[in-house]
Amino acid sequence: MSNPESQTTENLTAEDRHDIDEDNDQANAAHKIIPAIHGPPVVPENKPDIQLSKESSKTNINQSKDSNFDVQNLIQNDLKKYVNTPVPKDYSDFVQCHVKRVREGFTKGFESIFTMHFDGQNENNQTFLLSARKHITIGGHAEYFIGIDSENPSKTLNDDNSLAALKGINITGSEYIIYDHQNSSTDQRNKQQSGAIIYYEHIIGSSEPRKLTVLLHDTGKNIRPIKAGETIIDEWRSGRSTDLIQMQNKAPTYDEKSKTYTLKLHDSRIKLPSHKNFQLIFPNDNHDENAVMQFGRIDDNNFALDYRHPLTAIQAFAIALSSFHNRFHS
């Protein structure tokens, strides 16, 4: 995978400003976010300074010295267990991964395949984690079936044999529910709601980037039953859900000089401007904003996906997948 230098508002060309996203290019042209480097990971107090070169930065990010959480070893020992395991709180660095989109044949846009790989210390050291099949229902809703099949996900992933599913619940594609298929019987598969993603639709005439909220059940607790005909979004909006983990995307900064939005990220893995680029924040114990996930474009069909506590690989993948569906825009 190529590794060009990160772009800035100063060296952005007219060609770079053309968004190559699957969504409606023209509708999203004013909503693109330009990645900017925020700096290396913060070194905890009482820790010796760590000098991060281009070659060593990936090693330090994926092999934290603060924890015994050995990502590569956990994946090799039990992949299914790993993708369901939250990153420990004492693992302060991001788990660096990338998502690849494959669009083939006459059904591209309606039937797409996505894969998620853990990025090792170099571009030849990538380990498969998850795959997903995107399907558009007759009613126009997007569904993503998520599993660990690396061989033929286009034929094997469906509602009956996936580990989880991400399903749009409204025609505008702005609300999604994550369903847990592992801890439910066949007739309960669409009732075990483990999370939700909510995109706030643009106001007419607004050029502001999209905003999103992520709701997740604590993986250390049992998923509570939801009333028939309701979702966890309904419970959250009514104030009845008090055990949900709530995250928002960090607001990008508007640059008056270039008339563009920029977002400071933790490294240079996200290369290109895109309305898909975002960073999720979650308050830490000191009530400070803590980035727990960042996602964005590397090239045409490859996207960086970095995540850490309290997310699992499946949760991070599902959140990222929600950004790929074509929406109606004001």
In sequence order, the 6+-apart residues with CB closer than 8 A to the CB of 210 are 31, 199, 200, 202, 275
Q: Is residue 7 part of a domain?
A: no
**26-63 pLDDT, tens digit each:** 445 556 788 886 544 443 344 333 333 333 334 334 44
- The average pLDDT across 223-244 equals 83
State the pLDDT at residue 310: 92
Average pLDDT over the chain, rounded to an integer: 76
Q: Is residue 1 part of a domain?
A: no
Tokens of 324: 């790929």
Q: Is residue 166 part of a domain?
A: yes
**4-27 pLDDT, tens digit each:** 333 443 444 444 433 444 554 344
State the pLDDT at residue 30: 58
Q: What is the secondary structure of 63-102 as a DSSP string?
A: S-TT----HHHHHHH-HHHHHTSPPPTT--S-EEEEEEEE
Q: Is residue 18 part of a domain?
A: no
State the pLDDT at residue 21: 43
Q: Give the domain extent around 101.
A: 25-324
- The average pLDDT across 231-250 equals 88
Q: Is residue 121 part of a domain?
A: yes
Total of domains in the chain: 1
Q: What is the secondary structure of 224-264 as a DSSP string?
A: PP--TT--HHHHHHHT---SEEEEEEPPPEEETTTTEEEEE
Return the higher-pLDDT residue of 151 and 70: 70
Q: Is residue 12 part of a domain?
A: no
**CB-based contact 143:134 (threshold 8 Å):** yes
Q: How far apart are CA 122 and CA 127, in angstroms?
A: 11
State the pLDDT at residue 54: 35
Q: Is residue 10 part of a domain?
A: no
**60-100 pLDDT, tens digit each:** 344 455 568 899 999 999 999 999 999 999 998 899 999 99
**174-196 pLDDT, tens digit each:** 899 999 888 665 555 556 888 99
What confidence tier does 285 reach under pLDDT thresholds 50, 70, 90?
A: low
State the pLDDT at residue 38: 53
State the pLDDT at residue 110: 56
Which CATH number fits the domain that encloses residue 276?
Answer: 3.20.90.10
Q: What is the dihedral of CA 18, 23, 26, 27, to 10 degrees?
A: -130
Q: Is residue 11 part of a domain?
A: no
- The average pLDDT across 164-170 equals 92
